[in-house]
C-alpha cells in the first residue's frame, strides 16, 4: 500500500524510509526506475531483485512494514514458506505495472527463465533470451505503438544470469511491446548489449522518435580500448521501421543454412542450431562456435567473411 509521508517536516523527509516502514508501507526488493506510458497513463516500474532479501525483509516487517501479496504467494509456491525466510531467492527481479485508476500493482513480466543450479548452462545450451535484474526503464513509441525500454544491471553471474564461464556481467537492452497482455521473456526484443562488466544505466528516445540514446557505465578495465570506457551511444532509424520489423527473423523451409541479416553490423541469426567457423577473405579461421543459433560479429572489421558449418556448407557474410 501507498504511505504518504509528511513532506512539511524536514526530519521526516530525511528519514522517510523509517517513517514509511513504521506506518506499514509495502516492501519490495530493490525498486529502481519508473516510467509512464503517455498513451494509457499506466505506470511501469522495476524491482531489480537481489539474491536473498529475507533477512532485510524480516527486520523491516518487525518494524511495521508489510509484504506484497505477490511475494507471499511466490514464497508459498516455491516452498520457501514466507518472504522473510533465509531460503527466499530472487535472482532476476521483475517489472511491475501500476494502474492509477484501480490503485493496484501487478507483475507485468518476471525475470528469467528460472535456472535452479548455481552453475549456469553452457553457452551452447544457453537461453535464447534471458531477462536479469531490470533497472533502467523508459517508454518509447515505435510505429505508433508503445514499447518499454528495459536496461539490465546484473547482480551476479550465477543461476543462469550469464552462460557458464563468462567472467564478467553482461548486460543487455531490451524492448517489450506493451500491447502484449501477458508477456514472457520470449516476447523481449534484444536491441543492444554493452561491453563486458558494464551496466546499461539509462536509455531515452529523442523527441522526434528517430533515435534512442543509451548510457553504458563502468565496463571492465581489462576490456580492450575503447570498450574499457563508459560512453553514451545512439541507435538510429526507429522512425524507419514498423512493429513487424522488430519480430524475430523468419526463415523459409530450406534445409540448408540460412542467415539474417546479411549484411550485418552486430548479431547474425541462423535458421537452426549449428557448429560453424568464420573465415576472412584470405582463408584464415577467426572464430569457432558450437551449437549456436546466433553469433555476435560486432568485433569483426567491416568486410567480407565466409561461414562454414560443421557439414561443410559455406555462406558469405558481409559485415558493415
| Same domain, residue pair 262 and 320 | yes
Q: What is the pLDDT of residue 318?
A: 96
Helix (H) or strand (E) holding 10: helix 10-14
Exposed e or buried b per residue across 183-203, where buried means at least 16 C-beta atoms within 10 angstroms of its C-beta: bebeebbbbbbbbbbbbbbbb
> Of 128, 96, 149, 113, which Cα lies nearest the Cα of 270?
128
The reported pTM is 0.84
Q: DSSP label at 281?
A: T
270 C-beta neighbours (distance < 10 Å), count: 21
pLDDT greater than 80 at residue 282: yes
Q: How far is residue 189's CA from residue 185's CA, in Å, rounded to a whole number?
A: 9
| Residue 152 in grid coordinates | 539490465
pLDDT greater than 90 at residue 92: yes
Number of domains the chain is built from: 3
**Single residue among 198, 227, 248 that ends a domain in this structure:** 248
Please report where in the chains the cell 584470405 appears, as a residue: 282
Q: What is the mean pLDDT of the chain?
A: 93
As a whole number, mean pLDDT of residues 6-20 equals 88
If pLDDT is split at 50, 70 and 90, which confidence band does 52 have?
very high
| Same domain, residue pair 156 and 271 | no
| Same domain, residue pair 184 and 272 | no
**Single residue among 248, 271, 294 that ends a domain in this structure:** 248
| Same domain, residue pair 227 and 98 | yes
If pLDDT is split at 50, 70 and 90, which confidence band does 258 have?
very high
Q: What is the pLDDT of residue 1?
A: 67
| Same domain, residue pair 128 and 221 | yes
| Same domain, residue pair 79 and 171 | no
| Same domain, residue pair 276 and 212 | no
pLDDT greater than 70 at residue 234: yes
As a whole number, mean pLDDT of residues 243-263 equals 86
List the domain range (segments joined by +) for residue 268.
Answer: 250-320
Q: What are phi and psi of 57, to 5 degrees?
A: -65, -40
| Same domain, residue pair 281 and 225 | no
Q: What is the pLDDT of residue 267?
A: 85
| Same domain, residue pair 194 and 293 | no
Q: How far is residue 284's CA from residue 23's CA, in Å, rounded to a whole number?
A: 67
| Same domain, residue pair 272 and 319 | yes
Q: How far is residue 258's CA from residue 299's CA, in Å, rounded to a whole number?
A: 21
| Same domain, residue pair 228 and 254 | no
- The enclosing domain of 305 has a CATH number of 2.60.40.1930
Q: How far is residue 206's CA from residue 120's CA, in Å, rounded to a whole number?
A: 37
Q: How far is residue 317's CA from residue 294's CA, in Å, rounded to a whole number?
A: 13
As a whole number, mean pLDDT of residues 177-190 equals 96
277 C-beta neighbours (distance < 10 Å), count: 15
**Single residue among 213, 248, 283 that ends a domain in this structure:** 248
As a whole number, mean pLDDT of residues 60-85 equals 97
As a whole number, mean pLDDT of residues 217-237 equals 94
For 205-225, the pLDDT digits (tens) are 999 999 999 999 999 999 999
| Same domain, residue pair 115 and 206 | yes
Amino acid at each position: 500500500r501507498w504511505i504518504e509521508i509528511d513532506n512539511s517536516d524536514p526530519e521526516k523527509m530525511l528519514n522517510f524510509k523509517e517513517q514509511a516502514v513504521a506506518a506499514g508501507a509495502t516492501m519490495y526488493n530493490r525498486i529502481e526506475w519508473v516510467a509512464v506510458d503517455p498513451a494509457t497513463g499506466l505506470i511501469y516500474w522495476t524491482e531489480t531483485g537481489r539474491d536473498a532479501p529475507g533477512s532485510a525483509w524480516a527486520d523491516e516487517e518487525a518494524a511495521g512494514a508489510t509484504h506484497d501479496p505477490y511475494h507471499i504467494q511466490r514464497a508459498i509456491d516455491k516452498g520457501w514458506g514466507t518472504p522473510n525466510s533465509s531460503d527466499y531467492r530472487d535472482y532476476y527481479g521483475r517489472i511491475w505495472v501500476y494502474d492509477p485508476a484501480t490503485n493496484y500493482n501487478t507483475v507485468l513480466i518476471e525475470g528469467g527463465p528460472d535456472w535452479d543450479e548455481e552453475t549456469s548452462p553452457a553457452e551452447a545450451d544457453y537461453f535464447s533470451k534471458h531477462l536479469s535484474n531490470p533497472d533502467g526503464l523508459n517508454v518509447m513509441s515505435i510505429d505508433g505503438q508503445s514499447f518499454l525500454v528495459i536496461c539490465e544491471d546484473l547482480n551476479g553471474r550465477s543461476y543462469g544470469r550469464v552462460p557458464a564461464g563468462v567472467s564478467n556481467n553482461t548486460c543487455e537492452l531490451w524492448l517489450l511491446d506493451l500491447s502484449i497482455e501477458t508477456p514472457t521473456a520470449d516476447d523481449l526484443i534484444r536491441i543492444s548489449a554493452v561491453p563486458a562488466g558494464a551496466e546499461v544505466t539509462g536509455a531515452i528516445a529523442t523527441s522526434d522518435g528517430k533515435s534512442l540514446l543509451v548510457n553504458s557505465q563502468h565496463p571492465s578495465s581489462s576490456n580492450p580500448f575503447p570498450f574499457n570506457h563508459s560512453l553514451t551511444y545512439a541507435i538510429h532509424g526507429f522512425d524507419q521501421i514498423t512493429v513487424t520489423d522488430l519480430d524475430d527473423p523468419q526463415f523459409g523451409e530450406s534445409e540448408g543454412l540460412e542467415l539474417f541479416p546479411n549484411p550485418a553490423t552486430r548479431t547474425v541469426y541462423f535458421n537452426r542450431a549449428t557448429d560453424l567457423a568464420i573465415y576472412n577473405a584470405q582463408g584464415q579461421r577467426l572464430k569457432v562456435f558450437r551449437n549456436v543459433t546466433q553469433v555476435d560479429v560486432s568485433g569483426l572489421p567491416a568486410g567480407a567473411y565466409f561461414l562454414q558449418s560443421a557439414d561443410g556448407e559455406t555462406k558469405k557474410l558481409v559485415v558493415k
